[in-house]
Copies of this chain bind each other. A is one copy, B any other.
Amino acid sequence: MSKKVLIVGGVAGGASTAARLRRLDETAEIIMFERGEYISFANCGLPYYIGGTIEERDALLVQTPEGMSQRFKIDVRVQNEVLSIDREKKTVNVRDHKTGNLYDENYDVLVLSPGSTPLKPPIPGIDAPNIFTLWNIPDVDRIKDYVDRLKPKRAAVIGGGFIGLEMAENFHDLGVNVSVIEMADQVMAPVDYEMAQIVHRHLKDKKVDLYLGDGVKTFEYNNGVTKVTLSSGKVVEADVVMLSIGIRPQSELAKGAGLSLNQRGGIVVDEHLKTSDPSIYAIGDAVEVVEFVKGGKAMIPLAGPANKQGRICADNIAGRNTTYKGTQGTSVAKVFDLTVSASGVNEKTLKRDGLEYGKDYYYALVHPKSNAGYYPGAIPMTMKLIFGMDGKIFGVQNVGYEGVEKRVDVVATALRLGGTIYDLTELELAYAPPYSSAKDPVNMAGYVAENILNGTTTPFHWFELENKSEDTIILDVRDEVERDMGYIEDSVNIPLDQLRERMGELDKSKTYVAYCAIGVRGYVAERILKQNGFEHVKNFMGGYTTYSCVFC
């Protein structure tokens, strides 16, 4: 007997469910409801259409209602909003916005993929005509139209997440002066502070005005200009304002139907993506997922998981037993010329959960080059690898220019398969000079991690500088000429290649923190001293590159 399946939401999760289900089951009756006018659009491409990188609006429409209905025999009902669910009767109540009509539709199986919606807190003046959020095609049309007509000169982006920074770049591409205002002390929440500092510097290089640790108090609109007053009292004037401070799950429908929700409004599902009602599945931004690394629950709104969940959900509806095992939060964003990528948990989160550096976890911070140093185009990246005391990979972060997300993908794969940092040392990755080094950056991060865990090296991190003990001496092992570019204050300089001869100048009772440009020579210096009777020697992780990033 053929099933009747209703799907709420016609984009990432919903359309993927519909397509896969049809491939598995020609006989199912599939109706897909979409409140908006469009289905299967490229949410993630929207910022680039505003900036002009994506030139054709049509390119954003990956599938059309007609195409979907023709190819997959789906009854696609756009501008049809599902208003409520009657779980007893197994019906939904729908408003057809084209006609205004209300009607009921019954189901055997219901799939919810309603996504999320941008936050719009009740800040005074937030409804000004030049304040926008960006979530769908009508949003992008509105912004594009506004920008094309009024040619704004100044944009204020509120919120430094990936959508905010993508919009900053796209405004910048249009020749608009951009201010980014972020309440936290850093942009790009998936990465930790020292990694975000690289992004901050890059934004400043691109002449973006960055306001960190400052929230919006009020908006005041006047004659095409919105005056943004910050908590600090600072004022930013903008011809266009982009609000990208976060999202919340669209779970009103689920709530109204009495389905289990978590505290943040996320729909609770089991590993088959079933809600608390066995006839109702839910997927995508609106659901709570298992956080893959720690095993807790989290909201991780990303397109990859949404699309994959759609496929899994369809499998289950079609009678296949497929499970969703959780979300790592692998992410990447292009921020002007930089790539910022991460997977797994970051240190902020570990600390928030009460974990302690050196007791519960360690991290390695390396600056390997994107390809062989002797081949053109070798640019350093900054990679942070966080791991447990048994070597379990907790998370990875990477910021740089080339080959950045490649290394995150590799670590994300190892993480998914339960790999450790020891496995990273053994990975055999593709090497030729234009692509990598014989020891890939991932191997390198693995080596450093291994050295930390077995005590071959004792890492010293930038945050330890502040409270370093009286008898700790910072030892610069770079060549003298390198000091011209800057150095850590109060550091003494003995170039690495003179260290064995000049060791006598040092005091074995002191603690030495060796540093070089990126950490490699510092580590060699540490090894030399440690084996020559110096008991307390550490290596400044990431060297002067990390130091100057954090403190300059």
A108 interface hit (Cβ, 8 Å):
no
Partner of A60, one of B302, B374, B423, B527: B374
A352 interface hit (Cβ, 8 Å):
no
**Which residue of the partner chain B has the closest CB to A307?**
B438
Partner of A409, one of B308, B325, B406: B406
CB <8 Å contact, B375 and A54: yes
CB <8 Å contact, B308 and A443: yes
Partner of A304, one of B26, B376, B428, B456: B428
Q: Which of A423-468 contact B (CB under 8 A)?
A: 423, 425-436, 438-440, 443, 447, 456
Distance of A305 Cα from B496 Cα, bound (Å): 29
A182 interface hit (Cβ, 8 Å):
no
**Which residue of the partner chain B has the closest CB to A497?**
B70
Q: Which of A372-416 contact B (CB under 8 A)?
A: 372-376, 403, 405-406, 408-410, 412-414, 416
With contact pairs A419-B417, A430-B330 given, residues A376 and B438 touching in the complex (Cβ less than 8 Å): no
Partner of A45, one of B54, B372, B430, B443: B372
Chain B residues within an 8 Å CB radius of A292: 428
Partner of A431, one of B303, B403, B423, B431: B303
A531 interface hit (Cβ, 8 Å):
yes
CB <8 Å contact, B414 and A12: no
CB <8 Å contact, A426 and B527: no
CB <8 Å contact, B406 and A374: no
- Of A217-225, A264-272, A331-339, which stretch is located at the interface? A331-339
Chain B residues within an 8 Å CB radius of A97: none
**Which residue of the partner chain B has the closest CB to A407?**
B409
CB <8 Å contact, B428 and A376: no
Chain B residues within an 8 Å CB radius of A523: 23
Shortest CB-to-CB span from A330 to chain B, Å, is 4
Chain B residues within an 8 Å CB radius of A496: 71
Partner of A417, one of B327, B423, B435, B439: B423
Instruction: Choose among A23, A302, A307, A343 the residue with the greatest number of B CB atoms under 10 Å from its CB.
Output: A23
Shortest CB-to-CB span from A445 to chain B, Å, is 13
A532 interface hit (Cβ, 8 Å):
yes
With contact pairs A26-B532, A405-B435 given, residues A412 and B426 touching in the complex (Cβ less than 8 Å): no
Q: Which of A258-300 contact B (CB under 8 A)?
A: 292
Partner of A412, one of B329, B412, B427: B427
Distance of A410 Cα from B447 Cα, bound (Å): 19
**Which residue of the partner chain B has the closest CB to A416?**
B427
A550 interface hit (Cβ, 8 Å):
no
Distance of A321 Cα from B466 Cα, bound (Å): 38
CB <8 Å contact, B12 and A438: yes
A328 interface hit (Cβ, 8 Å):
yes
17 A-B residue pairs with Cβ-Cβ distance under 8 Å, sorted by A, are A24-B527, A26-B531, A44-B432, A44-B438, A54-B376, A72-B524, A304-B429, A304-B438, A308-B426, A406-B406, A406-B409, A409-B409, A409-B440, A410-B413, A412-B429, A412-B430, A413-B414
Chain B residues within an 8 Å CB radius of A405: 406, 430, 435-436
Q: Which of A335-390 contact B (CB under 8 A)?
A: 339, 341, 343, 372-376
16 more A-B contacts (CB under 8 A) besides A44-B433, A54-B376, A330-B428?
A: A24-B527, A26-B527, A44-B438, A45-B372, A53-B375, A54-B374, A59-B374, A62-B373, A71-B497, A306-B438, A307-B438, A331-B432, A412-B430, A416-B423, A417-B419, A417-B423
Distance of A70 Cα from B417 Cα, bound (Å): 42
With contact pairs A71-B497, A435-B405 given, residues A374 and B413 touching in the complex (Cβ less than 8 Å): no
CB <8 Å contact, B375 and A433: no
A48 interface hit (Cβ, 8 Å):
yes
**Which residue of the partner chain B has the closest CB to A69?**
B497
A120 interface hit (Cβ, 8 Å):
no
Distance of A529 Cα from B12 Cα, bound (Å): 27
A3 interface hit (Cβ, 8 Å):
no
Shortest CB-to-CB span from A366 to chain B, Å, is 16
Shortest CB-to-CB span from A305 to chain B, Å, is 7
A42 interface hit (Cβ, 8 Å):
yes
Shortest CB-to-CB span from A22 to chain B, Å, is 8
Chain B residues within an 8 Å CB radius of A303: 431, 438
**Which residue of the partner chain B has the closest CB to A325?**
B426
Distance of A60 Cα from B302 Cα, bound (Å): 44
Shortest CB-to-CB span from A5 to chain B, Å, is 16
Partner of A333, one of B60, B426, B432, B527: B432
Distance of A339 Cα from B67 Cα, bound (Å): 35
**Which residue of the partner chain B has the closest CB to A60?**
B374
With contact pairs A432-B162, A438-B306 given, residues A414 and B412 touching in the complex (Cβ less than 8 Å): no
Partner of A428, one of B44, B70, B327, B432: B327
Distance of A48 Cα from B371 Cα, bound (Å): 14
CB <8 Å contact, B428 and A412: yes
CB <8 Å contact, A430 and B44: no
